[in-house]
Structure 1
Amino acid sequence: MKQPQIGVAHLTALELAPAALIAQSARAGFSSVGIRTNPVAPGMPCYPLKAGTEEHRELIRLLDDHGMKVQEVEFISIVPELDVQSYAAMFEAAAGLGAKAVTVSGDDGDFSRLTDNLGRLCDLAAEFSLRIDLEPMRWRHVNNIGSARRVLDAAARPNGALLVDALHLARSGSMPAELRGFPASQLRAVQICDAPATAPIGDDATIREAREGRLPPGQGVLPLVDLLRSLPDDIAISAEMPFKTLPASERLRLAFQSSKDLIQQAREKRTDSQCR
């Protein structure tokens, strides 16, 4: 059976700069990485890149040497004062690395302005052959897959899609079956991890869990097999598991192996269902 292609989100080992992330992720077994080139919130870690610099060229060489790809770069928060054009350099650097998508969140309570800015981001991204993946999170204005679907449909851009995050899906009260109503064109990437049954109370605790408290797939209670079976077969799968009790190299190996085991379980369950 063909081995699954599994990526790793930068949050899994955010203490690693992109060069180290690429090398260590390749050794762990991953086929692609995500790179955080813009902070998820002011003051948070990130690794800005500029096309044409020696650092950028070195990353291209490293990707080639290790047979790795870049799945996504992150992160853009769609706030009311968003300056879309200011992200052109970020998109150029991402495209130069061969990235497929840029991850964004919806942080504007004005629906019309939010969808307009998302559409304009998609238009700019299209100039670089990039997709814009909208990631709903419980503490943001776009807080579940229903609100994400409404925004994506209103923006109506062919390169606008949903980023499915297993933890955010569960903590927003959504179930995997709800994803079956999405067009396949909007389901291009999923990030997997696990979590305990008890959800945190309040935004601060929810944010802390998302950034620090994720578990390896198989060590919690999230319906991960059902999630993968609800998504297109060709969806890009990445592990997002900042399990800080382990050093980065061990964390990456655990993230890969637990994700590989999960994908195998989902494949076996799908095969069993087809044979009945």
Structure 2
Amino acid sequence: MPSLGLGHFTFLDLSPSDLVRTARGAGFDFVGLRLHPAARDALSWLPDKSGLKELRRVMAGEGIALYDVETIVINKALDPDDLMPALDAACELGARRVNVCADVFPQLGETFAKICEGAASRALGVDLECMPWRGINTPRACFDLIAETGAGNCGYLVDALHHSRCGGTLRDLAEAPAGCLVSAQLCDAVAAAPRNIDGLLAEARGGRLLPGNGGLNLAGIMRALPKETIISVEVPSATDTRPPLERARAIFTATASLFESERA
């Protein structure tokens, strides 16, 4: 089985250090962290200088790396300069990617380019994901924005739920530009999509299922990804009340079983 990461959104109430410890206890190899709020006053975990030092110590002690910073919402209210402290922290912690999603507004191309440039100057890549309630709401829209920007550090983030709910197909993945599928996030969900935006939001933020426990075509998505794609698991749940370590172990076991079934 390839190295596997645990997205912070799965346990957003855990501090970065507690997430790192939970990830190690469950068998994961790396984590993603929420270092910038997804909305005004939303929860995020940007450490101060002493906090960064302590987090590096915990990561080193647990043998857990930081892969990505999740999820930055690019909209007309966002000033790219406001992201730089999070990108600085990500760089200091050894992160490799930054996850973003985007609305459509007149300055989108310019704003996206500035974020990509700021990330590149810190040796970070940028992964853009589609969401059905955002302006950039299809894989093709992601590919087009990446092409418009022309930045060499951009990729399409294959979030299994969002890709499916945005009408994404296996053909979209097969026809993605070369080098575009750098990162993927796995989860499962019921086969039938919610009928309205409120339902889609509730599903994405608290209704995801363990990989292999739903009706998404995870096997097809996994086969369509390049072998070098880095895979994380993101399973926020409003109903699974098990302690974090117990739930993290269940997530890891379910994902490992999915990989094993693909190799059988």
Amino acid at match of 1:211: R
Of 63, 66, 78, the residue aligned with 2:62 is 66
Inter-CA distance 94–24: structure 2 relative to 1 (3 Å threshold): same
Of 161, 167, 170, the residue aligned with 2:164 is 170
Amino acid at match of 1:131: G
Question: In the alignment, what sits opposite 1:131?
Answer: 125
Question: In the alignment, what sits opposite 1:18?
Answer: 16
Amino acid at match of 1:78: I
Of 255, 262, 265, the residue aligned with 2:258 is 262
Q: Secondary structure at the match of 1:238?
A: strand
Of 198, 217, 220, the residue aligned with 2:214 is 220
Give the TM-score taking structure 1 as reference length: 0.91
In structure 2, what is the Cα distance between the partners aligned to 1:62 and 1:186?
32
**Deviation (angstroms), 1:265:** 2.5
Is 2:98–2:125's contact at 8 Å kept on the other side of the alignment?
Answer: yes
User: Which deviates more from structure 2 when the two are superposed, residues 71-80 or residues 258-267?
Assistant: 258-267
1:190-229 paired onto structure 2 within 5 Å: 190-229=184-223
Question: In the alignment, what sits opposite 1:48?
Answer: 46
Give the TM-score taking structure 2 as reference length: 0.95
Question: In the alignment, what sits opposite 1:143?
Answer: 137
Is 1:6–1:260's contact at 8 Å kept on the other side of the alignment?
Answer: no
**Structure 2: gaps of 5 or more residues:** none
Question: In the alignment, what sits opposite 1:154?
Answer: 148
1:240-251 paired onto structure 2 within 5 Å: 240-243=234-237, 244-245=239-240, 246-251=242-247
Q: Secondary structure at the match of 2:66?
A: strand
Q: Secondary structure at the match of 1:185?
A: coil
Q: Percent identity?
A: 35
Question: In the alignment, what sits opposite 1:274?
Answer: none
In structure 1, what is the Cα distance between the partners aligned to 2:229 and 2:177?
12
Is 1:115–1:152's contact at 8 Å kept on the other side of the alignment?
Answer: no
Of 96, 102, 123, the residue aligned with 1:100 is 96
Of 72, 78, 81, the residue aligned with 1:76 is 72
